[in-house]
Structure 1
């Protein structure tokens, strides 16, 4: 048995991305999903880029950065927007 994680970059725009993570188990030649889908959204802000860097491998992170470019396009949320 081999456990694999599948990552899908969904709804990738210049301002945001949705990251879908799924776990699959290969058992007797058949692939079966294990557990629940985990989806998180990230904004193209300084903090969003830092969070994304922590959760994605270089391959996926670089793919997002190819679309996002060198500079954030979304301002950091203010305290009143967070509550």
Structure 2
């Protein structure tokens, strides 16, 4: 069984974002969540931008930056 992570960008504004991370396995054709939801909030500042860069794929990071750079 392969463990897959689902990332949801929630409440994305020009000032902050909430990142929801969930892990799933596929068991007999059904996705089942493993563990609990992990949610972290990040602000539009240098330190949090660096943190996001390290945990998000380019696709998600670029989506956040597209909103945050519109200030």
Pair in the same fold by TM > 0.5: yes
Which position in structure 2 is the counterpart of 1:36?
A: 36
Distance 1:39 1:63 in 2: 18
Residue in 1 that maps onto 2:18: 18
- Segments of 5+ residues of structure 2 without an aligned counterpart are none
Rounded to whole Å, the distance in 2 between the matches of 1:38 and 1:44 is: 20
| Aligned residue pairs, count | 71
Query: Could you tell me which residue of structure 2 aligns to residue 54 of structure 1?
Result: 54
Stretch deviating more after TM superposition (11-20 or 45-54): 45-54
User: Is 1:6 aligned to 2:39, yes or no?
Assistant: no
**Contact in 2 for aligned 1:2/1:27 (Cα 8 Å):** no
Moved over 3 A (4+): none
- Residue 62 of structure 1 aligns to a residue whose secondary structure is helix
TM-score, normalisation: structure 1: 0.81
